[in-house]
Amino acid sequence: MLPNLLTQRIPNSLPYCLRKIQDLFAAGKPEVSKRSVDDILSDDNRVSFHRFQVAGWTIVLIWTIVLILIFFVSVYLPLNMPKFEATLLGLVG
């Protein structure tokens, strides 16, 4: 049976309303961040694989862009090919 809204007593005093507003704000506050890396990589309480994978591929992409920029600057200014080490070329693929 649904409660009858007309028979319910609803307090309408200002302190009651302010207390309810404070309770709502306190319930909706997010958890305090401990480390930003954990916030990025974790869902609830553990590191999730898909977030870790996206972060890894982002690092690989940024490193590749840095190497491309080094290549273009070293080719454009002196107009000769740069010399990359074999291990660096192996890491890039």
Residue 2 lies in a domain: no
The mean pLDDT of 51-73, rounded to a whole number, is 93
Residue 78's pLDDT band, with cuts at 50, 70 and 90, is: confident
Angle at 38 between CA 35 and CA 43, to 5 degrees: 140
Residue 84 lies in a domain: yes
Residue 43 lies in a domain: yes
The pLDDT value recorded for residue 79 is 85
Tell me how many domains the chain contains: 1
Cβ within 8 Å of residue 82, ≥6 positions away: 70, 71, 74, 75
Residue 56 lies in a domain: yes
Domain of residue 85 covers 35-92
The pLDDT value recorded for residue 3 is 53
